[in-house]
C-alpha cells in the first residue's frame, strides 16, 4: 500500500535540509539612509519568527510561518524528484537507503 503523505511526511533528511536552507541569510532588504545612500541588510529566516513573536507582530509572523512551509514543501519535492531520478539510474541504490537517510546493511 502506498503512503498518501509521501511529499509532506517528515523524515530526518527533509528536516535537516530545510533547517540548513532556513539558516542561511537569504532574505535581503535595502534600507535607504536619511543622509543619502543605502545599506543592505540580510536576515536569517529562523531568527525572524521568534523576533516577530516577541514583538507581538502577528502578520509578519504568519508570513514567516508560510515561508517556512513553502521552503519545506520545496525541499520535500526536490528530494522526492531526486529519489525518483536516482531510482531510474541505479535501481538498487534507493532500496538500500532507508527513510532515515542511513544505508542499510553496512
What CA–CA distance (Å, rounded) separates 102 from 100? 6
Domain map (residue ranges) of the chain: 12-96
SS (H, E, C) 84-104: HHHHHHCHHHHHHECCCCCEC
Specify the pTM.
Answer: 0.74
Nearest to 50 by CA among 75, 68, 73, 72: 68
Element spanning 4, H or E = none
Kindly give the confidence (pLDDT) of every residue in the chain, 106 residues in length, as a single tens digit, with 9 standing for 90 and above: 455 566 777 888 899 999 999 999 999 999 899 998 999 999 999 999 999 999 999 999 999 999 999 999 999 999 988 888 887 877 666 555 554 455 455 4
Amino acid at each position: 500500500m502506498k503512503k498518501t503523505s509521501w511529499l509532506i511526511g517528515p523524515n530526518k533528511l527533509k528536516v535537516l535540509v530545510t533547517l540548513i536552507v532556513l539558516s542561511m541569510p537569504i532574505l535581503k532588504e535595502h534600507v535607504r539612509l536619511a543622509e543619502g545612500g543605502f545599506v543592505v541588510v540580510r536576515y536569517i529566516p529562523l531568527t525572524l519568527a521568534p523576533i516577530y513573536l516577541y514583538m507581538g507582530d502577528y502578520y509578519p509572523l504568519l508570513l514567516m510561518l508560510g515561508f517556512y512551509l513553502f521552503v519545506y514543501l520545496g525541499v520535500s519535492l526536490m528530494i522526492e524528484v531526486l529519489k525518483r531520478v536516482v531510482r531510474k539510474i541505479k535501481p538498487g541504490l534507493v532500496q538500500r537507503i532507508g527513510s532515515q537517510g542511513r544505508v542499510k546493511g553496512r
